[in-house]
Amino acid sequence: MRQQNPDKPDPVQDSPTIGPPQSSAAGLPAVLNSVRHLGEHTGVRRGLPAMLAINQKRGFDCPGCAWPEGDKRHRAEFCENGAKAIAEEATAKALTAEFFARHPVADLAERSGYWLGRQGRLTEPMYLAEGAAHYEPIGWDRALNLVAEDLKALDSPDEAVFYTSGRTSNEAAFCYQLFARVLGTNNMPDCSNLCHESSGAALTETLGVGKGSVSLEDLRKADLIIVAGQNPGTNHPRMLTALERAKKGGTRIITVNPLPEAGMREFRNPQRASGLLGRGTELTDLFAQIRLGGDLALFSALNRLLLQADARGEKVLDQEFIATHTHGFEEFAQALLAEPEEEFWARTERATGLERALIERIAAMVTESQNIVVCWAMGLTQHKHSVPTIREIVDFLLLRGNVGRPGAGVCPVRGHSNVQGDRTMGIFERPSEEFLDALGAEFGFAPPREHGYDTVNAIRAMARGEVKVFFAMGGNFVAATPDTLVTEEAMRRVGLTVHVSTKLNRSHVVTGTRALILPALARSDRDPLHGRARWVTVEDSMGKVHASHGVLPPLSQGMRSEVDIICDLAGRVLGQTPVAWSELTDYDRVRDHVAAVVPGFSDFNARVRKPGGFTLPHAPRDERRFPTATGLANFTVNGTYAPEIPPGRLLLQTLRSHDQYNTTVYGLDDRYRGITGGRRVVLVNPEDARELGLVDGSHTDIVSEWADGRERRATRFRVVHYPTARGCAASYFPETNVLVPLDSTAEVSNTPTSKSVVVRFEPSTEP
């Protein structure tokens, strides 16, 4: 175990160097940057074995994203972001009690998330007593007994909240939800509530399954792929390889985004010499630079054009599929065609910022294509009208039968490496009756039926003083959630906050009256029990379940696996009935229980031991069977909503930099956007900037405006003139999460509207 270097100062982040945006992604710079991060954090002896094992069939699953692997794999099956994630996770720097003795919590609370994350791996349990200035070391027995005492003293199990990050394994997620439900609550908010909840809600209503319906092979077989509201080059870099393969096979690609992104322009594949030294592959055939929130209007326009073309006798609709497999087509078509032509197109052009001729060009590419896949991410899921938008995309695909056949379907691209698996394992505040029935039958208890808190409602409950214990399995709740000041104040009203973590983050320094940090093994760490190696499983973004074997020796014997922590705590709170918690430290036993409870996991232990794992069933994809309320795929009527931008204001979206994974900041550069050495920047179209008097390089406060009358301010951001869509701006989270109100959420899904923030700009109030 290597002690960290003496503390380095927290760097200034609002005065970066600005250069031109890049026109290509990956290539040699990605390789060099990967090597630099590994050398800085791990060293060759520790870093090389990890990188050779990442995403291999007998290795461990990359924690950097949920993109799937193909059957044939490169020896270096990772991207730049994966290398950064492993460099951070497999660091040789260790955080010990001496660090916490040197830094009072008040000092740590003034540090940036970037600085906190670079201090090293947590290696022993730490406790912040009521009124104490410092975290102090605490033994595992005492730590877990403290939690158990508080949980047993609750007046109601619903006074506890159990949060989950998407990096949790299937085995840990299953045990975690089992513990909460035997305790008696469905208060299980998770990171899905903040990202793809809108996708799950829309897809469950329309197709009957809240997951994507395509495989990697479907992308290769598609005639047309539409990538909307997503930046693969930064958020899912290995997706670029799949898009390149499709493109070389003749697939055309349309990119719909407010920002031009380097990865969707040209991809230089670092697995090939030509990608390192020569020109890359131009991925995008047509770029539609849409205004934020205009995607519903765009897909509505495409659907109207398809309906009109078919009415003219062009036979572009799959009438047999519509008649046999769908419900609600007549109502959908009637509503979409009701608006007069001139009014429809005036509204559509205003909402999208796209000319009618460009939309008609997209429609022509659609009618020329037999098999179509639509991919999206949080650019579509974090608006008030996100669920209607995704339902309209399903309408678009249903019109031409592009669900349930090769080369076609819906592709919501998840971020966290096992966020989809967590939901499959039962991490959900609104579980189905079928799941609860199976869980109760397997373990002999009556699970709670009342719905619990999602993330936003958990914060509201904490703010009301109704939560006495907040328990987080991974993640960085305070930094990931909206309305930062409100969330922090809510967290301070909790009696005991507990975080099972690998690295220090903001949530450890904004705490309840008392706080515990419990150090967990990471995905890359070995996990032995009685000398026998244990391994876990994960589910990727396309529904494939596979094993993950840690390979690195842990930095400390004080770290425990998430399953061990959960089961030890559960035994102290609940005893060994109705669940034999001590037996679940054998992960095979956990998987046997999963097989009995969760559909699609029969013979789990045997099937997942096969190299590459297995794919879960998906009725719409596999059988063209739609387990919806109607028993068919549902067309829906979704209205015409688009965000309105008042004069003198812009619509801002929060986004990631290239040196970032969700709230984890690996560095202060955003190489593809030409930003070096800083994060407190706001990207503004030069024409909008001139109209608003925003000089490139000046500093400004960003003030968000909402119907509740309260203004929220993010101070001292450097203005960067950037080719965003007119009327739109962009800035990084979590720094601008402060601008998003807790009560501004998507209809149905309750996801924060982080991509629809109306803002004005004022001279900076800080020097």
Cα–Cα distance list, 111 to 37, 440, 481, 722 (Å): 21, 45, 18, 29
Q: How far apart are CA 716 and CA 676, in angstroms?
A: 17
Point out the residues of the chain with pLDDT beneath 50: 1-5
So what's the pLDDT on residue 6? 58
Rounded to two decimals, the pTM is 0.96
Which residue's entry shows tokens 């709670």? 448
Half-sphere CA count of 152, side-chain side, radius 13 A? 13
DSSP β-bridge partners for residue 500: 473, 518
CA–CA dist 436, 429 (Å, integer): 12
* Cβ-proximal residues to 54 (8 Å cutoff; 6+ apart), any chain: 60, 61, 62, 77, 78, 82, 86, 524
Q: In this structure, are strands 675-676 and 17-18 parallel, antiparallel, or unpaired? A: antiparallel
Q: What tokens appear for 131 in the block?
A: 């009124």
- Phi, psi of 621, deg, nearest 5: -75, -45
Write the single-letter amino acid at 402. N
Which residues have a Cβ under 8 Å from the Cβ of 131 and sit 6 or more positions away?
none
pLDDT one-digit tens code per residue, 350-394: 999 999 999 999 999 999 999 999 999 999 999 999 999 999 999
Percent helix, strand, coil in the chain, to 5, is: 40, 20, 45
Q: Which two tokens stand for residue 251?
A: 């697939």
Given this model, what pLDDT does residue 318 score?
Answer: 98
The contacts found for 501-504 with CB under 8 angstroms, 24 or more apart, are: 501/122, 501/472, 501/474, 502/89, 502/121, 502/122, 502/474, 503/88, 503/89, 503/116, 503/117, 503/119, 503/120, 503/121, 503/122, 503/664, 504/95, 504/108, 504/116, 504/117, 504/119, 504/120, 504/122
**Tokens read off for 90:** 């497999």
User: What is the sign, positive or negative, of the torsion defined by CA atoms of 268, 273, 276, 279?
Assistant: negative
* CA distance linking residue 520 with residue 590, whole number of Å: 19
The answer to whether the bond into 578 is cis (omega within 30° of 0) is: yes
State pLDDT tens for residues 252-275.
999 999 999 999 999 988 887 777
Q: Checking DSSP bridges between strand 266-268 and strand 25-26, what pairing results, if any?
A: parallel
Please state, in angstroms and rounded to a whole number, the distance separating the CA atoms of residues 370 and 365: 10
Cα 209 to the center of its chain, rounded Å: 19
Q: Residue 39: its pLDDT value, please?
A: 73
DSSP string, 151-201: HHT-SSGGGEEEEE-TTS-HHHHHHHHHHHHHHT-----BGGGGTTHHHHH
Q: Which helix or strand (DSSP H or E) is residue 392 part of?
A: helix 386-399
Q: Residue 407 class from Cβ within 10 Å (0-12 exposed, 13-18 middle, 19+ buried)?
A: buried
Positive or negative, the Cα torsion across 361, 364, 368, 373? positive
Q: Which two tokens stand for residue 762?
A: 């004022």
Residue 252 β-bridge partners: 224
Q: How many residues does the chain have?
A: 767
Position 167 scores a pLDDT of 84
Locate 241 and state its tokens.
């390889």
Q: Which residues contact 364 (CB under 8 A, 6 or more apart)?
A: none
Residue 572 structure tokens: 């102290």
Assign 3-class secondary structure to 521-570: CCCCECCEECCEECCEEEECCCCEEEEECCCECCCCCCCECHHHHHHHHH
User: According to the model, what pLDDT value does residue 35 have?
Assistant: 74
